[in-house]
Amino acid sequence: MSIQAHMERYLPLIEQELRDALSDRSGLQGYYGMMRYHMGWLDAGLQPISAPQGKRLRPVLCLLACEAVGGALEHALPAAV
């Protein structure tokens, strides 16, 4: 399987895990908004935007390593993110 095929498979998982990790559960909207801005999900006014996803190379490499040694992706996903 090519690296592109792996990325296409992993990126939706990574993106959802990132969004879950940066959801505002504590009432600190401003701080979490800044983090979401840096992920490219919000504009400078902290309004949702549609922007291309980053490469997310480090998380993909983590998941590739997990799979290479026979691990379960769902166990490695929090570490990848």
Report which of residues 64 and 55 the model is more confident about. 64
- pLDDT bin (cut points 50, 70, 90) of residue 61 is very high
Q: Where are the domains of the chain?
A: 3-80
- pLDDT bin (cut points 50, 70, 90) of residue 70 is very high
In the prediction, which pLDDT does 26 show? 67
Tokens of 50: 């549609």
DSSP 45: T
Q: Which residues 6+ apart lie within 8 Å of 20 measured at CB?
A: none
Report the 10 Å Cβ neighbour count for 81.
19
Taking alpha carbons only, the member of 13, 4, 73 closest to residue 21 is: 13
**Over the stretch 3-58, which tens digit does the pLDDT of each residue have?**
889 888 999 999 899 888 888 676 666 678 888 888 888 888 888 888 766 668 89
The whole-angstrom distance between residue 29's C-alpha and the CA centroid of its chain comes to: 19
Taking alpha carbons only, the member of 70, 68, 54, 72 closest to residue 15 is: 54
